[in-house]
Structure 1
Amino acid sequence: MGDVIQLRRQRKCRAATGASGSIRSLLPIGFFALVLVAAGALGSYLGTDKFSWKVADPRLPLVSAAATGRTITGRASVIDGDTIEIHGERIRFKGIDAPESSQTCSDASGKPYRCGAKSAAALDEFLRASSPTRCEFVERDRYGRFAGNCYRADGSSVQELLVRSGWALDWPRYSHGAYEEQQRAAQAERRGIWAGTFQPPWEWRAAGGSKKKKETPAQLIPLVNSNASQQSGPCRIKGNINSKGERIYHMPGQQHYNRTKISASKGERWFCSESEARAAGWRPARR
């Protein structure tokens, strides 16, 4: 009887061992099958509209989750006069250009001051007055920053506020004159940098910017001058306003250049370059 019981136990043990061996032999196949199924499901899910991923340029920062929806809202930190940061995302205001952080201008009395720092301080004041800030993404600039249009909580355009206050310029190359009206008002009222002389930020950068040891008056744009018909130095382009209110600039050598006088009381002025004259709203004389 004992032998029979022992035999039955051995048969059960062999059966259990065989089943366990079968499971072990099938486990790798089943495991990898499950992995493949899961990977396929995940790939299908990522292919839906819930995710829209693109291969990023390794030279550019990754796009934050907040910005993939083309808008980003939050408390803004000021980087400089035309750049802010929200939730770790750098945002460049599209269509305007503010003095660089290390750039200097001259006030109405000719005294130099840090207009770049003044511009950044003005921006900070604007944003603090009505927070949070909302920015709508337009494109990426060449530095990988988001370039967009930004608004305060009260709906005011940040770009319009900056240009209207005279602490940023309409940048025709990118704005196509979107802020020209605000700039004319700031210039007429001598607000911000228009109270004295300055060099447009894009020209300041092109000329070497902070690499320069010192800016000289000849490199700056005079806002007002005497009623003289001639001007010494490189700023010899005459910004005239005719009887119809048209802003026309005259280049040296043109037909009416010598007899054109500049009247500061009428809002007329001298320019150092054609690009600066056009940016300020003047057109070239036809002859």
Structure 2
Amino acid sequence: MLSGACLLTAALLILPLPATAAPLSGVPSVIDGDTIKIHGQRIRLNGIDAPESAQLCLDAAGKKYRCGQKASLALADFLEAHRPTSCVEVDRDQFRRMVAVCTAGGVDIGEWVVKKGYAVDWPKYGAGFYDKAETDARKAKYGPWAGSFDRPWKWRKQMTVN
């Protein structure tokens, strides 16, 4: 026989989920090239991955630079110039951060960051949604596409192995 708690849990699992919550809007602060914070809520931009703050890339001349830091600063400048920012939650990640599609001044932030070469389409999570923006950045040799770099998820994996 099931306990009351088990029955309640089972009932909650089969009940329809509530409609998507209203967008979270406000003035964002930038955590890194793919994460912002609005009203104390960390928000991971859906479908993209930006270089980490400590990640180094090589420019066209082969000189190292902090491409993750550059991505963060570019995103901060963009968000400062394009207000307001609004995010619609699509998921939660393993750290329980909101994963969202966000716009600033009517522009899809994820698409802008990828198209400018500050982040890449993340096939594992974005199903190629920003693939065209990435192709455009690669052809234009924006950001790390001008030189060479490790995809952020590969760089993180290397850092955990070392």
Distance in 2, matches of 1:106 and 1:118, equals 13
Deviation at 1:70, TM superposition (A): 4.2
Deviation at 1:208, TM superposition (A): 1.3
In structure 1, list runs of 5 or more residues that go unmatched: 1-53, 55-67, 213-287
Higher gyration radius (CA):
1
**Count of aligned residue pairs for this structure pair:** 144
Aligned-pair distance for 1:142? 0.3
Letter in 2 for 1:180: D
1:172 to 99, 109, 123: 123
5 Å-filtered alignment, 1:128-277, equals 128-153=80-105, 155-208=106-159
Moved over 6 A (4+): none
Q: Which deviations, in whole Å up to 9, do the C-alpha atoms of 1:200-222 show, x marking residues without a partner?
A: 0000011116x86xxxxxxxxxx
Match of 2:68 in 1: 116
TM-score (norm 2): 0.85
* Cα deviation 1:153-204 (Å, max 9, x = unaligned): 2x11000000000000000111111011111110001001101110000000
Query: Given residue 25 of structure 2, which amino acid in structure 1 is its aligned partner?
Result: T
SS at match of 2:54: coil
Shift of 1:129: 1.1
1:130 Cα deviation from its structure 2 partner: 1.0
1:112, 1:101 → 2: CA distance?
Answer: 13
Are 2:7 and 1:81 aligned?
no
The percentage of aligned residue pairs carrying the same residue is 47
Q: Alignment partner of 1:208: what SS?
A: helix
Query: Match of 2:138, SS?
Result: helix
3-state SS, counterpart of residue 107 of structure 2 = coil
The CA distance in 1 between the partners of 2:113 and 2:123, in whole Å, is: 15
What is the identity, as a one-letter code, of the residue corresponding to 2:57? C
The one-letter code matched in structure 2 to 1:162 is: V
- CA–CA distance in structure 2, aligned partners of residues 81 and 181 of structure 1: 19
Aligned partners of 2:55 and 2:30: how far apart in 1?
17
The structural deviation recorded for 1:81 is 0.4
1:131, distance to aligned residue in structure 2 (A): 1.1
- Give the CA deviation at 1:69: 2.7
Structure 1 residue 71: deviation in Å? 1.5
RMSD: 1.5
1:130 and 1:146 map into 2 onto residues whose CA distance is 21
Partner of 1:235: none
Structure 1 CA distance for aligned equivalents of residues 40 and 54 of structure 2: 23
Aligned to 1:105: 57
Separation in 2 of the partners of 1:150 and 1:82?
11
Any unmatched runs of 5+ in structure 2? 1-11, 13-19
